[in-house]
Amino acid sequence: MKNLFLLLAISTSILITSCEGDQGPPGADGINILGQVFEVTVDFTPGNGFSRLVTFPSNIEVFESDVVLVYLLEGTTPGNGGPIDIWSQLPQTYFVNQGTLVYTFDHTFLDVMLFLDGNFDLSTLGPVYTDDQVFRIAIVPSEFGSIDLTMEELLQVLEINSSQIELLPN
């Protein structure tokens, strides 16, 4: 009987010790995302060549490797707390009576060029397509650039709420 108790005590001791074991190296630190988002309202006219150069605000640091995403405000939809914005990622193509219209952009690490492109005379467009167009511009660290995100998902990943988005003057 003594041997049985001794065997159980040793077995229990080994079992408890083996559960502790070597914990291994510590895991990698969490990712610290420092993305930025801001909005700008644009009028596209023949006078500006249906384009607008938007310089990044001085408080936003952009690196050449960062990814720039641009979203167009399409409208709103009713929500429990009021209207909810509807955003579409650029480029965005529309088929209008005159032909094909594209809202698109290019960028450097200093600025974004927003512009309209089409297969027709853009001066025939009405103000619904040219005046007071609201764009949200997001600068995302390059390690996240391959992710295709909606505006809401992007803001969640960057931990930004809409009250933190800077509005640039026209």
11 phi and psi, to 5 degrees? -60, -45
Looking at residues 70-87, what average pLDDT do you find?
Answer: 94
C-alpha torsion angle, residues 52, 152, 125, 116 (rounded to 10): 40
| Confidence class for position 152, pLDDT limits 50, 70, 90 | confident
Answer whether residue 17 shows pLDDT above 50: no
Rounded percentage of the chain residues whose pLDDT exceeds 90: 52
pTM over 0.85: no
Cα-based distances in Å from 163 to 38, 45, 64, 87, 159: 11, 30, 27, 16, 12
Q: Which residue has the tokens 């023949």?
A: 46
Domain chopping of the chain, boundaries = 36-167
Average pLDDT over every residue of 88-113: 96
What's the pLDDT at 124? 95
Residues 89, 115: Cα–Cα separation, whole Å:
14
For domain 36-167, the CATH architecture is Sandwich (2.60)
Q: pLDDT by residue (tens digit) across 108-140? A: 999 999 999 999 999 999 999 999 999 999 998
Looking at residue 8, its pLDDT comes to 41
86, 32 contact by CB (below 8 A):
no
Say what the pLDDT of residue 13 is: 44
